[in-house]
Chains A and B, each alone.
Chain A
């Protein structure tokens, strides 16, 4: 790079900023200055993510950004890389980080909680940013562990017995997943002597080693992504954490391991994949949609309903795999199915975060979240019920939400390939989501019972800001439904470059 102020020099900042914020939050516990610093760091992170996204969108060539840390190039050094897929994930992370940070400032008002919460919170975002920028199989392991350890601790910050037990189970699942992943990487390194993902994707050959590596890496990441039947840990973990933590776990942390699955299956280890295995992932995804929706319908607590809805919605992501069959290495990233799933990740991330915040507000106002006892809450918590309804509309896939566009793209991809089974799954899954969302809404708007008495005053300034954060995310879900094109363009940026090179004659 001869250009001194190349945008790629901003990439390490995305890892550095939350790391600095974590240190600062230890030095400035619960002061006005501490609050300002949280907002400052979250805004800075968002600004840089937007800059990177914009420069990726507007540059002429379609190459990816790479940054060699300390000037050491791969294979010895550890590179950072940025393409459209990572840029979208980083943007989603930064947006959610800003909104949820504001929410958390008002949610954690007891000094004891904040002292433990903030450093872990920022370390989690350090891990997420590092993961989305990583171009190296081992660096990914480190980022995964950083995410797991801070996410588990964030669940445990809640402090109740249920949360601690959920955190311990989550820790075991995470450690098991990481160890499996690492063994997969060790097998690859043993045979190929490489860790850099883009170099690996050019030398991987089908064979026993790459099959074993793919199986181990997939098992590890599927555990972390909670695909049915490995979802057993998710509802209790996401259901017992505090609202901002549940939001970030459902919206980002499970997507991070899915992001890696997509990278390994469509690109790095593509030669080791088989059509059968891709179909199997799709079938498991379809089962997750059905089972998650059914469990959400049965749930007795609102938070568990939302958590099971995450199990169901994660199933849609896995429809990506059967719908990209017959592509070459890296070609899957320019397919219609990938665009649909990328769009879906953002729509679900925003909607699910909004939903967890709304549920958190309702729980704080009412003192509980038993669905049967929530009659008429639309009157006492209008903004939170509004947020829940908008987020629910996106999960169902009603226009004009982001979820509608995502499902429409996914349906299109399935119809184009005349894979009618997946069309059926998508439609039925939407109906399932409609059932559990309307189950809650019909109770919320039911004024027949005795007038409810919220336990705490829910109309003070913090409560209003917290409700406002939920509404802000709900509005973003709607906006995402309107701004389809730039998102799709950004997703294609860089990820499709190899395809263009392959489609001979195109000069870059």
Chain B
């Protein structure tokens, strides 16, 4: 039987896997950035779901997710800034930088 928390966790793990697949297989940099964000969201969902304890709600995972979001925003901003810099140095084809 699937509890609500289990459904959330499994969806989180699915999001994580889709993001991982995207990060490895998609060549476009912007999509890679989105893929990493998606992986992060998946982890946050697992964390939020783990807050469910019998009777009470555990506040600690929420605090962790808040911190995680801040870190994810900083990472995304840095990635976008780097892409812009490379794009400016490159002229046009900055979007197709593959690994």
Given contacts A149-B74, A186-B50, contact A168 B83 (CB under 8 A): yes
B82 CB within 8 Å of chain A: yes
Task: Convert B17-46 into 0s and 1s, putting 1 for each residue whose CB lies closer than 8 angstroms to a CB of A.
Answer: 000100100000100100010011011001
Report whether B85 and A164 are in contact in the complex, using a CB–CB cutoff of 8 Å: yes
SS of B interface (majority): helix
Query: What distance in Å separates the Cβ of B4 from its nearest Cβ neighbour in chain A?
Result: 14
Report whether A175 and B75 are in contact in the complex, using a CB–CB cutoff of 8 Å: yes
Query: What distance in Å separates the Cβ of A107 from its nearest Cβ neighbour in chain B?
Result: 22
Task: Convert B67-84 into 0s and 1s, putting 1 for each residue whose CB lies closer than 8 angstroms to a CB of A.
Answer: 110010011001100110
A169 CB within 8 Å of chain B: yes
Report whether B46 and A172 are in contact in the complex, using a CB–CB cutoff of 8 Å: no
Query: What distance in Å separates the Cβ of A237 from its nearest Cβ neighbour in chain B?
Result: 13
A215 CB within 8 Å of chain B: no
Nearest A-chain residue to B16, judged by Cβ: A183
Task: Convert A201-218 into 0s and 1s, putting 1 for each residue whose CB lies closer than 8 angstroms to a CB of B.
Answer: 000000000000000000
Which of A145, A153, A189 is close to B50, meaning CB atoms less than 8 Å apart?
Answer: A189
Given contacts A145-B71, A153-B78, A171-B75, contact A186 B86 (CB under 8 A): no
Report whether A168 and B86 are in contact in the complex, using a CB–CB cutoff of 8 Å: yes
A175 to B67 CA separation, bound complex (whole angstroms): 15
Report whether A169 and B99 are in contact in the complex, using a CB–CB cutoff of 8 Å: yes
Report whether A189 and B61 are in contact in the complex, using a CB–CB cutoff of 8 Å: yes
Which of B13, B43, B85, B86 is close to A182, meaning CB atoms less than 8 Å apart?
Answer: B43
A299 CB within 8 Å of chain B: no
A366 to B50 CA separation, bound complex (whole angstroms): 58
Interface footprint category on B: 35 or more
Query: What distance in Å separates the Cβ of A160 from its nearest Cβ neighbour in chain B?
Result: 9
A165 CB within 8 Å of chain B: yes
Nearest B-chain residue to A172, judged by Cβ: B32
A280 to B93 CA separation, bound complex (whole angstroms): 41
A176 CB within 8 Å of chain B: yes
Report whether A179 and B85 are in contact in the complex, using a CB–CB cutoff of 8 Å: no
Report whether A138 and B64 are in contact in the complex, using a CB–CB cutoff of 8 Å: yes
Report whether B50 and A156 are in contact in the complex, using a CB–CB cutoff of 8 Å: no
Report whether A176 and B50 are in contact in the complex, using a CB–CB cutoff of 8 Å: no
A453 CB within 8 Å of chain B: no
Report whether A156 and B39 are in contact in the complex, using a CB–CB cutoff of 8 Å: no
A152 CB within 8 Å of chain B: yes
Query: What distance in Å separates the Cβ of B26 from its nearest Cβ neighbour in chain A?
Result: 12
A165 to B97 CA separation, bound complex (whole angstroms): 8
A183 to B43 CA separation, bound complex (whole angstroms): 5
Query: A142 to chain B: which residues have CB within 8 Å?
Result: 67, 71
Tell which of B9, B32, B36 has the most Cβ of chain A within 10 Å.
B36
Report whether B82 and A171 are in contact in the complex, using a CB–CB cutoff of 8 Å: yes
Query: B1 to chain A: which residues have CB within 8 Å?
Result: none
Report whether B75 and A190 are in contact in the complex, using a CB–CB cutoff of 8 Å: no
B90 CB within 8 Å of chain A: yes
Report whether B78 and A152 are in contact in the complex, using a CB–CB cutoff of 8 Å: yes
Tell which of B82, B86, B89 has the most Cβ of chain A within 10 Å.
B82
Query: B47 to chain A: which residues have CB within 8 Å?
Result: 186, 189
Report whether A187 and B36 are in contact in the complex, using a CB–CB cutoff of 8 Å: no
Query: What distance in Å separates the Cβ of A118 from its nearest Cβ neighbour in chain B?
Result: 18
A112 CB within 8 Å of chain B: no
Given contacts A172-B23, A179-B39, contact A145 B64 (CB under 8 A): no
Given contacts A149-B74, A152-B78, A189-B61, contact A168 B46 (CB under 8 A): no
A62 to B86 CA separation, bound complex (whole angstroms): 52
A254 CB within 8 Å of chain B: no
Report whether B43 and A168 are in contact in the complex, using a CB–CB cutoff of 8 Å: no
A171 to B37 CA separation, bound complex (whole angstroms): 13
Query: B97 to chain A: which residues have CB within 8 Å?
Result: 165, 168
Tell which of A178, A186, A193 has the most Cβ of chain B within 10 Å.
A186
A171 to B78 CA separation, bound complex (whole angstroms): 8
Q: In chain A, residues 134-148, which have Cβ atoms closer than 8 Å to a Cβ of chain B? A: 138, 141-142, 145, 148
Query: A32 to chain B: which residues have CB within 8 Å?
Result: none
Report whether B36 and A167 are in contact in the complex, using a CB–CB cutoff of 8 Å: no
Tell which of B78, B83, B85 has the most Cβ of chain A within 10 Å.
B78
Report whether B61 and A172 are in contact in the complex, using a CB–CB cutoff of 8 Å: no
Query: A167 to chain B: which residues have CB within 8 Å?
Result: 82
Report whether B58 and A193 are in contact in the complex, using a CB–CB cutoff of 8 Å: yes
Report whether B9 and A190 are in contact in the complex, using a CB–CB cutoff of 8 Å: yes
A186 to B47 CA separation, bound complex (whole angstroms): 6
Tell which of A148, A167, A182, A189 has the most Cβ of chain B within 10 Å.
A182
A161 CB within 8 Å of chain B: yes
Query: A161 to chain B: which residues have CB within 8 Å?
Result: 86, 89-90
Q: Which 4 A-B pairs have the closest CB atoms?
A: A190-B50, A186-B46, A168-B82, A145-B71
Q: Apart from A164-B82, A172-B36, what 18 extra A-B contacts exist at CB < 8 Å?
A: A141-B71, A145-B71, A152-B78, A165-B86, A168-B29, A168-B83, A176-B36, A176-B39, A179-B16, A179-B36, A179-B39, A182-B40, A183-B16, A187-B46, A189-B50, A189-B60, A190-B9, A190-B50
